[in-house]
């Protein structure tokens, strides 16, 4: 499902101009990371994809649906949104209910709901927590419940707002595995992240926003190697990219394998 954003502007009450003319196309099945300074407009942008915010001017198309003409409820069948803070979206008595809520509301019959819930819980390693109250879980696992409750809606597009915030290494790996599984299913995954190493290791396309505009948009290697331009939006390249740049390597690298291969050539 294609996403088409045309000359999108958004102004918050009080005349805070958060988006100042964004045009982007995201094709079906793309894996896109959005990076940029706090206040750059990342969350404001993605809140337009499911109609939570309406453009001040410009347009957003999800497939053939315009977000100004469809309800948030209808858009929810195409765009799932995992909030930054899981506590803003969890509200039921147990994990099973939480994860069933979305697909039930999309009107699926109970057999399909059950299958979707099972699948989402397996993917997020929560199968043994069905009866647990989400608030009895640690914040780390509440984040996984929030993720599961969106995966179970089986939308073609899934948005993650800061999936690795406050997560430890093991959970970041679980998160990366879940995203990889969604990629294999052909889902479009859009992730806002400050974890630039996570971004480098899991996303093929990177969009850098700065002050409400697109600063850079391209393949991960092309964008993440632009140290000076990224600094304008308070982003450092990933650790190994910086190391490659400092060592004067010719090619931009973004993970261990790329680094070691390039290093062998460089040192030879």
Partner 1 sequence: MAIVNLKNVTYKYPLTDTLVLDGINLQIEEGEFVAVVGPNGAGKSTLCYMLAGFVPHFYKGELTGTVEVAGVETQESSLNEWVMNVGLAFQNPFNQISGAKYTVFEEIAFGLENIGVPRKDMKERVERALEMTGILDLAERSPYSLSGGQQQRVALTSILVMEPKVLVLDEPTSQMDPIGTREVFGVIRTMAERGMTVVLAEHKMEWIAQFADRVIALHEGKILLDGKPGEVLTSELLDGKGFGISRYTSTAREAQEQSLWPNNKNLPVTLDEAVEGFTPNPSPSPLKGEGS
Which residues here bind partner 1, judged by CB under 8 A? 12, 14, 16, 36-40, 43, 84-85, 87, 138-140, 162, 165-171, 194, 196-197, 231, 233-236, 238-240, 242-243, 246-247, 256, 259-260, 263-264, 267
**Closest CB to partner 1 among residues 43, 100:** 43
What minimum distance in Å lies between the beta carbon of 15 and partner 1? 12
**Closest CB to partner 1 among residues 102, 244:** 244
Q: How many other CB atoms are there within 10 angstroms of residue 27's CB atom?
A: 12
Q: How many other CB atoms are there within 10 angstroms of residue 3's CB atom?
A: 23
Q: Which residues pair with 219 in a beta bridge?
A: 205
**Closest CB to partner 1 among residues 222, 231:** 231
**Closest CB to partner 1 among residues 30, 258:** 258
What minimum distance in Å lies between the beta carbon of 29 and partner 1? 28
Smallest CA-to-CA distance from 148 within 193, 77, 86, 105 is with 86
What minimum distance in Å lies between the beta carbon of 113 and partner 1? 30
What minimum distance in Å lies between the beta carbon of 44 and partner 1? 9
Rg (the chain; Cα; Å): 19
What minimum distance in Å lies between the beta carbon of 67 and partner 1? 22
**Closest CB to partner 1 among residues 154, 161:** 161
Tokens of residue 187, six digits: 């889902």
Strands, DSSP E only, in the chain? 3-12, 16-26, 31-36, 57-62, 65-66, 79-82, 157-161, 188-192, 205-210, 213-219
- Look-up of token digits 């993605």: 46
């Amino acid at each position: 499902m294609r996403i088409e954003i045309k000359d999108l502007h958004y102004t918050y009450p009080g005349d805070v101009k958060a988006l100042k003319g964004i045009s982007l196309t995201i094709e079906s099945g793309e894996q896109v990371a959005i990076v940029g300074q706090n206040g750059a407009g990342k969350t404001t942008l993605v809140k337009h994809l499911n109609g939570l915010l309406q453009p001040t001017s410009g347009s957003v198309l999800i497939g053939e649906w315009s977000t100004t003409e469809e309800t948030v409820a209808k858009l929810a069948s195409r765009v799932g949104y995992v909030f930054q803070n899981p506590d803003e979206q969890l509200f039921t008595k147990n994990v099973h209910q939480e994860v069933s809520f979305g697909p039930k509301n999309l009107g699926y019959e109970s057999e399909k709901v059950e299958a979707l819930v099972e699948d989402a819980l397996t993917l997020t390693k929560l199968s043994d927590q069905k009866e647990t109250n989400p608030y009895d879980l640690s914040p780390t696992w509440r984040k996984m419940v929030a993720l599961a409750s969106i995966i179970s809606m089986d939308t073609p597009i899934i948005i993650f707002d800061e999936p690795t915030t406050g997560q430890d290494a093991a959970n970041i790996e679980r998160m990366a595995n879940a995203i990889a599984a969604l990629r294999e299913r052909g889902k479009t995954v859009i992730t806002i992240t400050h974890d630039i190493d996570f971004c480098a290791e899991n996303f093929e396309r990177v969009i850098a926003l700065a002050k409400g505009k697109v600063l850079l948009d391209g393949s991960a290697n092309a964008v993440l190697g632009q140290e000076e331009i990224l600094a304008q939006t308070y982003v450092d390249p990933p650790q190994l990219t910086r190391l490659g740049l400092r060592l004067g390597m010719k090619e931009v690298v973004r993970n261990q394998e790329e680094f070691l291969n390039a290093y062998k050539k460089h040192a030879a």
